[in-house]
Amino acid sequence: MDDKRVLIADDDPDVRMLVATALKAWGFEPIAVSTGPEAVAVMLATGAPPRAILDWMMPGLTGVDVCRAIRAVRKEGAPPYLVLLTARVGGDDVVQALEAGADDYVRKPFSMPELRARISRRSAAAPESHTAERIASGSILGDRWCLGAPLQAGGMGDIWTAHHVSLGIEVVVKLLRSEFVRDPIVQARFESEAHAAAQLRSPYVVQVHDYGVTPGGIAYLVMERLRGRALSDTVGAQGPLTLPQLAVVISQVARGLRATHDAGYLHRDVKPDNVFLADLDEDSLRGLPYQAKLLDFGLVQRARNPERVTQHGSFVGTVGFCSPEQIAGGETDERSDVWSLGMTALFAAVGHDQSMKVPTLTSVTHTLRGELPVPSQLAPHLPPAFDAWFAKACAVRPEARFGTPLELARALRALGGEEAVELGARDRFSLLPPSGETTPLDDAKPRRTLVVDDLKSPAVPRADAPAAWSVTDDPATPGSER
């Protein structure tokens, strides 16, 4: 029987806690230490664990030193499997680690699924070999979609231009990468994304036209072709949105979420990268008109009676934009998406991503404790009323938040004043012209995403009660939701 013990050596208590909790959830037995000498002592003791996860920088001895010491001294039993955690990304550093005796390495900030896959290689059977199907320009998918050129490459899927061979309709195709053909979790998420998005018929949600699997086992998803830019790129290019503009964008995303929730799904990954401001190709004296569309349903889940792609007690989402209950692996509902929408609004209002201001694990801790930033302290142009709105949108306790995305949007639209009403009537507004064509789907660029599967996190700590807030529905206005 395989020995499931794993040593985790790291001087950061948050890292030790998170990795040890994940290892337990994966069926391993973690042994945690905080220094290099302690790690050496454990790995050289009689009956030492067969695996170790070692931080590169530790007191006493570095992870590289620990690898050298273990390889030089330990002679009995099967050789241990050593994985280094490191923020170093240089080629020389990787060579140094491997030459010192490390079997593998994971770069910080790290993905838990990657860590799980690497540490599990110690006992895994050799993977079944297969030849990846060649996908190239001109390939025909499902007898009707002709691939054009690759647009963007990502971690799990690549985005291509394409067109319908008979009708000439221009689309984009998301192709699952060949290395994930035999990964059941990735396959299930990809298929779940296709089925969920195909059921949504809303102008505020990216439209899915087709889904299929090639003879070689590569799944593909055919979607409408959008021109414009993501909210994250828009804010990066021109700075924060005004309150009236923000109210329009958030109202449109809220309508997309309403369609999602009405169909019985939770999005679970609402964030600026997944809000696309689409150019509608209409002439306007006010400039290019844009409309917000909700993208990326790869983490979607049934809101009620879920058929889970991930196990109960798992955290799947993006650090900084997923709710406390998501991180803790608890039950989620529509109010989890409300929390994410509130954080997305904060990003667009202040002009940067708060999760980038602190280390990933610290950001997780802040979220669990309900330690929210004060928007007006980050952006002095924001009124105190926005602080109260944000405190309610992102309250740590779901019952203290806005009940629905539309309720959140109505309250924000009230802060935007008459200009928000006028923009809402047009349902669009002028922004910077897009810099070329982009379709930033979930794997379009490197993301600050921590995905922890089967992670049974501790219960969410209680936090101070959020600021008192009352909302009175504003009268229906042109372009408002009902």
The share of the chain scoring above pLDDT 90, in percent, equals 24
Residues 24 and 169 in one domain: no
In a domain, 471, yes or no: no
How many structural domains compose the chain? 3
Cα of 432 vs its chain's centroid, Å: 26
Confidence of residue 63 (pLDDT cuts 50, 70, 90): confident
pLDDT at 375 exceeding the cut of 80: yes
pLDDT tens, 197-250? 888 888 899 988 998 888 877 889 999 998 888 898 888 888 899 898 899 899
Residues 248 and 367 in one domain: yes
d(CA 183, CA 344): 31
Burial class (CB in 10 A: 0-12, 13-18, 19+), 281: exposed
pLDDT at 155 exceeding the cut of 80: no
Residues 207 and 258 in one domain: no
Residues 283 and 348 in one domain: yes
In a domain, 474, yes or no: no
Residues 206 and 280 in one domain: no
Residues 271 and 210 in one domain: no
Residues 192 and 323 in one domain: no
Q: Are residues 18 and 108 in contact, defined by beta-carbon separation less than 8 angstroms? A: no
- The alpha carbon dihedral of 326, 328, 329, 331 has a sign of negative
In a domain, 462, yes or no: no
Of the candidates 195, 224, 253, which is a domain's last residue? 224
Higher confidence at residue 448 or residue 112?
112
Q: Are residues 284 and 240 in contact, defined by beta-carbon separation less than 8 angstroms? A: no
The kind and range of the H/E element at 170 are strand 170-176
Instruction: Taking residues 135-140, report their average pLDDT.
Output: 87
Q: Collapsing DSSP states into helix, strand and coil, what is residue 428? A: coil
pLDDT tens, 314-332? 456 677 888 888 877 777 8
**For residue 301, what is the domain's CATH number?**
1.10.510.10
Q: What is the pTM of this model?
A: 0.61
pLDDT at 354 exceeding the cut of 70: no
Of the candidates 224, 255, 279, which is a domain's last residue? 224
In a domain, 458, yes or no: no
Instruction: Taking residues 382-398, report their average pLDDT.
Output: 93
Q: What is the pLDDT of residue 352?
A: 72
In a domain, 467, yes or no: no
Tell me the two tokens of residue 37.
């000498």
Q: What is the CB neighbour count within 10 angstroms for residue 229?
A: 26
Residues 285 and 208 in one domain: no
Tell me the two tokens of residue 343.
């954080």
pLDDT at 261 exceeding the cut of 60: yes
In a domain, 465, yes or no: no
**For residue 158, what is the domain's CATH number?**
3.30.200.20
Residues 166 and 246 in one domain: no
In a domain, 482, yes or no: no
d(CA 398, CA 466): 11
Q: What is the pLDDT of residue 347?
A: 92
pLDDT at 95 exceeding the cut of 50: yes
In a domain, 468, yes or no: no
Q: Are residues 66 and 94 in contact, defined by beta-carbon separation less than 8 angstroms? A: no
Mean pLDDT lowest for which of 29-33, 64-68, 81-85, 125-129?
125-129
The kind and range of the H/E element at 69 are helix 63-73
| Domain containing residue 175 | 140-224
Is the previous residue joined to 446 through a cis bond, with omega within 30 degrees of 0? no
Quickly tell me which residue has 């067109």 as its tokens.
Answer: 163
pLDDT at 125 exceeding the cut of 90: no
Residues 205 and 232 in one domain: no
Burial class (CB in 10 A: 0-12, 13-18, 19+), 423: buried
Q: Are residues 118 and 83 in contact, defined by beta-carbon separation less than 8 angstroms? A: yes
Instruction: Taking residues 277-286, report their average pLDDT.
Output: 60
Q: What is the pLDDT of residue 312?
A: 40
- With a CB cutoff of 8 Å and minimum separation 6, the contacts of 30 are 5, 6, 7, 8, 19, 20, 23, 24
Residues 74 and 113 in one domain: yes
Instruction: Taking residues 2-26, report their average pLDDT.
Output: 87
Confidence of residue 294 (pLDDT cuts 50, 70, 90): very high
Q: Are residues 357 and 371 in contact, defined by beta-carbon separation less than 8 angstroms? A: no
pLDDT at 159 exceeding the cut of 50: yes
Residues 216 and 233 in one domain: no
